[in-house]
Amino acid sequence: MLGSLLKRRDEILFNTYAIIDQTIKRYQRDDILCPRPDKYNTACDAMLLGTLLKQAAKFGLWPAPQAPYEATSFVRLANKIKMLKVNALCDKISRVMIDGKSPEPAHGLKALINEMMDSHEASLCGLDIKDFGPKRKKQEESRLKSEEKRKEATASP
């Protein structure tokens, strides 16, 4: 039972760290996400990525640690993510109008991260007692035995 709890906890924390990792990877790609119609759109994306990387590193969110996440609680991790401050060139240095209006702060990246966190948090519905009942335990034992047999079969010449 404790093993199931720890495994589920690690999955939740892994998926939480993945929100930041996936956002960073999105900004590391070649495509330009800033909608400004001039040559500074690349610089704007770079500023967003740079501030995200620096903030994530400052709070110990990137690079993400490896499981097990023994010293991490979901609440503390979620709070760190929600405290991230990201800036865009369009916000700070070179203000621009896009389609006749000012863009959202950080082109909505901070709002998007918070939405992803809220959605992730809402999906955490606690424990299901069925996960720890005798039927589930037998299924888990059976799965582990099958896995051991498969490993033994592939290890044998």
Q: How far apart are the C-alpha atoms of 13 and 11, rounded to whole Å?
A: 6
Statement to judge: residues 111 and 145 lie in one domain: no
Q: Which residue has the higher pLDDT, 142 or 124?
A: 124
Supply the pLDDT for residue 149. Answer: 66
Statement to judge: residues 82 and 134 lie in one domain: no
Show the domain range for 150: 127-157
Residue closest to 24 by CA, chosen among 3, 46, 5, 1? 46
Supply the pLDDT for residue 106. Answer: 95
Statement to judge: residues 154 and 87 lie in one domain: no
Residue 153 scores a pLDDT above 80: no
Statement to judge: residues 53 and 10 lie in one domain: yes
Statement to judge: residues 112 and 157 lie in one domain: no
Statement to judge: residues 107 and 38 lie in one domain: yes
Statement to judge: residues 95 and 137 lie in one domain: no
Place of tokens 């939405």: 115
Statement to judge: residues 134 and 113 lie in one domain: no
Residue 130 scores a pLDDT above 60: no
Statement to judge: residues 61 and 99 lie in one domain: yes
Chain segment 44-74, per-residue pLDDT in tens: 999 999 999 999 999 999 999 999 988 899 9
Q: Rounded to two decimals, what is the model's pTM?
A: 0.75
Statement to judge: residues 121 and 137 lie in one domain: no
Statement to judge: residues 66 and 113 lie in one domain: yes
Confidence category of residue 111, pLDDT binned at 50, 70, 90: very high
Statement to judge: residues 79 and 113 lie in one domain: yes
Looking at residues 72-88, what average pLDDT do you find? Answer: 94
Residue closest to 56 by CA, chosen among 14, 19, 84, 89? 84
Confidence category of residue 138, pLDDT binned at 50, 70, 90: low
- What is the number of domains present in the chain? 2
Looking at residues 124-141, what average pLDDT do you find? Answer: 59
